[in-house]
Structure 1
Amino acid sequence: MNMEAGIGSDPAGYSSFEDEGRGRRRIAIIAVAVALLVVAGAIALMRYHAKPAPATGDTAPRVTVTVPGRQNVTAQIPAVGNITAIYDMPVGIPGEGGLVTRVLVQPGDWVGKGQVLATVDRSVQVQQAANLSASIAQARANAELARTQLERAKKLVNNGFISKADIDTRQAAYDSANAQVLMAQAQLKQQQALIGRLDIRAPTGGRVLTRSVEAGQIVGSGMGALFRIAADGAMELQARLSEADLARLHVGAPATVTPVGTTLKVPGQIWQISPIIDPNTRQGVVRIKLPVNDALRPGGFAAAEIGGGQGDVPLLPESAVMTDAQGNYVYIVGPDNHVQRRAVKVGEVDDRGVTVVSGLAGTERVVAAAGAFLNSGDKVQPQRTTTVR
């Protein structure tokens, strides 16, 4: 009872609570109003800055163009291949063969033309040659006897003791005896040649690559190569290249060859380019002649950088050259600032850019970038950039 009487009997306290609530509402309303004013000012400011610039009358896109000119470029074509002897000469038994008595060389040895590599037993052939030599001596004796009888008969014919027919008979005997001498001599030379063929000789000077015969082995004319010789020791790299790369090369072009597993840089030179292209791989073979070097082993693998020659050609940034199903192309900006597509053939690509083998003279204004967003006939605003160097 007293509490209810106390609250209800204090009108001044109730009024103070009501005044405090009204003050808070007034402050909130003022804060919301200030916030709305700030937002409205920000929107107005944004609209002011976003106001479009006055129209210039040209809505064509701006593109960067370059005039490439012509620059001296040395093309380098990478290649890999196998090292082999330029002339790999197989050496077999030239004669009838027999028992190998000696082998005189080892793989890696250098030999001269005609040098004996191995010998074959010739005891039987030597005896046959001795027999033929005796036959020659006998034939010569018979010829000498026939000559003496002929001369004696010629002296007697004048005295009438021997007829003319007897002279003719003795002359024929003498001629036959001389023929027998010549025949025996020819047979001896033939046998000596056969004996000589029992020496397995180097057909050319060079380096022995392989040896597949040992002393005591029986060899014959039907066997394969007993030795292989690199003629003059000359080596080459046989590399397979694409048809396009072969078209850029020429005989005499320089190359640098690095055998696998080494840091050696061996200078070489193209001496032959394949006259045919494999229809399956669309590749051909280029043969690079190399100097004599112990690090170059036939059958080894090597990488090469081949010089495709020098030439004055346009050089473009890579972004300027595009490719589609029809091939490589660029966009040229004409005098009226309209772009036209131009087909090009590209060559070497390096850090400087892309060389253009054909399709450009070098004086054209070429779109250097953003060409993929253009179409033939589009009008552009060209902006010149520096030439690629």
Structure 2
Amino acid sequence: MGETPAGSAKSGRLKQAILLIILAGLIFLGGRWAGLWGGADDGQLKLYGNVEIREVQLGFRVGGRISKLYVDEGDRVVPGQVLAELDTRPLDDRLAGAAARLDAASAAAQRDANGSRPQEVGEARAAVAAAEARLIEARRQFERRQALVDKGFISKADVQTAEAGVAAAEASLSAARNSLSLAEEGVRAEDRAASEASRNAAFAERRSVQTDLSDARIIAAEQGQVLTRARELGAIVQPGQTVLTVALTQPVRVRAYVAEPDLPKIRPGMAVTVSVDGSDKRWPARIGYIAPVAEFTPKTVQTEQLRADLVYRLRLTVDDPRGELRQGQPVTVSIPADGKR
């Protein structure tokens, strides 16, 4: 017995209903998977951004020839690690010369500070005594000849010679007394100040060379990874010329953007999560900074809003001790609906 037309129509409608139900289920599941509705992300605010690129160009503050390179591209570095060194022989020679000049200037300053030696003062006093004795003798000779000239025994020329001898003895005594005063007083204050200034200049010169010696090494200041090695062993570099480029890997920072209507939903210090395409892993993060000034959405950031929308930039610090996130990598920031995480 064949199927009736009514039965065929009923069977066709049933098949259509089943197909529609299957299609609706697929659409629903696809929507949930895409996060358009339902699922674990209900009520969450999603922001989009990138892992910040943090690089530092490292070089020597002084010029010279590279004698040692301890790292290569891809090597990880830690704070305090020596990465490269210059040939320090020219600086060692400069340091030796500066140290010698400092020793000489220090000795001169100490000599001026100590003043005259006791032997020098004693010698000056002896010179005064001798000058006084010569003056006494010169006056005695003058008085004797003055008496003789009155009696006509000698000429007036002899008296004048004796008188000149007295004047010379007096001048000699005055000079000896001045020398004694200088010996007792010591070096002038201006000379002591000049000696001290020379010593300070020599000390500054030595310290400058010591600074240059310390700057003849490249030392890592933060944890990172070597990106490029721009110079090789034996290369002559100028001061400030880039030798190594290091990416700073810790802390990991994300720059994201939030639209003005969603601004009240976030605050500094809020705990959030960060995820990337192609992975189910989520990294804990915390909002550290929200820009006080609005800007247009950068073209490098993919958002669900128009690029002409005004947004606020925020920076997050991500807990990524294993360094799984790469600098410049696009990320999605999930903000909890209740804002309590």
Deviation at 1:290, TM superposition (A): 0.5
- Whole-Å separation in 1 of the counterparts to 2:286 and 2:42: 15
Deviation at 1:235, TM superposition (A): 0.4
Deviation at 1:148, TM superposition (A): 6.9
8 Å CA contact 1:150, 1:174 repeated in 2: no
| Structure of greater relative contact order (alpha carbons < 8 Å, 6+ residues apart) | 2
- Whole-Å separation in 2 of the counterparts to 1:154 and 1:111: 65
Number of the residue aligned with 2:236: 218
Amino acid at match of 1:130: A
Q: Whose helix fraction is larger, Structure 1's or Structure 2's? A: 2
1:187 aligns with 2:155: no
Deviation at 1:74, TM superposition (A): 8.6
User: Where does 1:56-71 land on structure 2 (aligned, <5 Å)?
Assistant: none
1:287 aligns with 2:311: no
Q: Aligned Cα RMSD in Å?
A: 3.2
| Structure 2 CA distance for partners of 1:179 and 1:154, relative to 1, 3 Å | farther
User: Where does 1:159-308 land on structure 2 (aligned, <5 Å)?
Assistant: 160=128, 162-168=179-185, 170-171=187-188, 176-202=194-220, 204-216=221-233, 217-224=235-242, 226-230=244-248, 233-279=250-296, 280-291=308-319, 292-308=321-337
Number of the residue aligned with 1:124: 90
User: Where does 1:1-389 land on structure 2 (aligned, <5 Å)?
Assistant: 75-84=43-52, 88=54, 90-106=56-72, 107-112=74-79, 114-143=80-109, 150-152=116-118, 153-155=120-122, 160=128, 162-168=179-185, 170-171=187-188, 176-202=194-220, 204-216=221-233, 217-224=235-242, 226-230=244-248, 233-279=250-296, 280-291=308-319, 292-310=321-339
- Whole-Å separation in 2 of the counterparts to 1:108 and 1:299: 19
Amino acid at match of 1:300: Q
Deviation at 1:77, TM superposition (A): 0.9
Q: Which region of structure 1 is more displaced relative to structure 2, 222-231 or 190-199?
A: 222-231
- Whole-Å separation in 2 of the counterparts to 1:310 and 1:137: 69
8 Å CA contact 1:91, 1:229 repeated in 2: no
| Structure 2 CA distance for partners of 1:241 and 1:178, relative to 1, 3 Å | closer
| Structure 2 CA distance for partners of 1:244 and 1:190, relative to 1, 3 Å | same
Per-residue Cα deviation, 1:67-121 (whole angstroms, up to 9, x for no partner):
xxxxxx9941112221126xx3524335132322222234451312x43222123
Q: Note the residue ranges of structure 1 that are not aligned, 5 or more in a row.
A: 1-72, 312-389
Deviation at 1:189, TM superposition (A): 1.0
Amino acid at match of 1:190: S
Q: Which region of structure 1 is more displaced relative to structure 2, 183-192 or 117-126?
A: 117-126
- Whole-Å separation in 2 of the counterparts to 1:225 and 1:307: 45
Amino acid at match of 1:180: S
Aligned residues: 234
Amino acid at match of 2:262: D
| Structure 2 CA distance for partners of 1:305 and 1:144, relative to 1, 3 Å | closer
- Whole-Å separation in 1 of the counterparts to 2:84 and 2:217: 6
8 Å CA contact 1:147, 1:174 repeated in 2: yes
Number of the residue aligned with 1:61: none
Greater C-alpha Rg: 1
- Whole-Å separation in 2 of the counterparts to 1:302 and 1:180: 62
Amino acid at match of 1:206: Q
